[in-house]
Amino acid sequence: LINKLRKIITGRFLKFLQEQSTSQPEKYKEFWQKFGIFLKEGLATDPDHKKDLLKLLRFESSKGKPGELISLQDYLKRMPENQKAIYYLNGPSREGIQGSPYLEIFKEKDWEVLYTFDTVDDYVLNQLGEYEGKKFISADQENLELPEGDKRETGEEKLASEEAKALMNWLKEILGEKVQEVRESNRLKTSPAMVLSPGNLSHSMERMMYLINKDLDTSLPKILEINTSHPVIKGLHKLRQQEDPLAKIAAEQIYDNALIAAGLKIDPSTMVERINQILERALSQH
């Protein structure tokens, strides 16, 4: 009897919330901001009400104003025909996400990305898998299925193919076990480089693993993607050709900068020392 009552009362309450979300969106927004975490918990623990709970999810997005929330149904209505997935990106704040290199390709394509701020969000979306036939995919995942034939103009000339290949092989040698692969990016436009985790592991999932177990080694080998039209990467190529010792220092700093942009932990002591070396070199030339 108690189980039956619980199911009926929960169902009626979720229906009430759904009605309020459409008739009084501002009032529902207040409720969501206070109690949304419990609705997410319900998605992970209560499969009986999954369909109703999905309708109640709200997110900020790349196409909305700060504080403006949209539903998954809103997102689907705004999707272009050639978009096959629901993309999201996790970060500590809206400002942090908007400055991320992982959004560059989506801004160019004018594809909307949902912003998630809670660590648990990625876990919930991973558990859900999809919504109305559209998979949930983190924008910082390695294996994004981007449309073929996408010719991206950056406004800068890229390194020649042989030059880029030589630079990538050199970077793999310099960074060693830190990277599984170094490759040319078809996703970057304004940033010199970014790191990706192999497979379907998002950076927020890595951060959550570290929060659960601080002794866990989260320095998994990364995939480093470089923007071969960026002045920093071109400058690195020249330093490498000149066999300048600064090239190795710059390469390690570019990699650490990419880790910072991904929200992953780094060793600040070695980075500060390296930055000082770069500054000393730069200032000595003036």
Q: What does the pLDDT read at residue 150?
A: 47
Inter-residue contact 221 to 180 (CB < 8 Å) = yes
- Determine how β-strand 134-138 pairs with β-strand 85-90: parallel
Q: Which H or E element spans position 168?
A: helix 161-175
Distances (CA, A) of 258 to 27, 168, 194, 255: 40, 16, 5, 5
From CA 240, how far away is CA 183, in angstroms rounded?
17
Inter-residue contact 200 to 161 (CB < 8 Å) = no
Q: Which residues pair with 134 in a beta bridge?
A: 131
Q: What does the pLDDT read at residue 105?
A: 92
161-175 vs 246-261: helix crossing angle, rounded to 10:
80
From CA 129, how far away is CA 76, in angstroms rounded?
15
Q: What does the pLDDT read at residue 180?
A: 93
Inter-residue contact 174 to 81 (CB < 8 Å) = no
Q: What does the pLDDT read at residue 143?
A: 79
Q: What does the pLDDT read at residue 151?
A: 47
Q: Which two tokens stand for residue 10?
A: 């929960």
Under-50 pLDDT residues of the chain: 149-152, 154
From CA 157, how far away is CA 136, in angstroms rounded?
34
Conformational region of residue 231, where left means phi above 0, alpha means psi within -120 to 50, and beta covers everything else? alpha
- Whole-model pTM: value is 0.87
From CA 241, how far away is CA 246, in angstroms rounded?
12
Q: What does the pLDDT read at residue 268?
A: 83
Q: Which residues pair with 184 in a beta bridge?
A: 226
**pLDDT tens for each residue of 239-266:** 999 999 999 999 999 999 999 998 887 7
Q: Considering only the C-alpha atoms of the chain, give the largest distance between any 2 of them, rounded to a whole number of Å.
A: 81
From CA 162, how far away is CA 127, in angstroms rounded?
43
CA 121 to chain centre: 13
Q: What does the pLDDT read at residue 149?
A: 40
Give me the residue label for tokens 């693993």. 209
Q: Which residues pair with 179 in a beta bridge?
A: 222
From CA 225, how far away is CA 180, in angstroms rounded?
11
Q: Which residues pair with 115 in a beta bridge?
A: 60, 89
From CA 70, how far away is CA 275, in angstroms rounded?
41
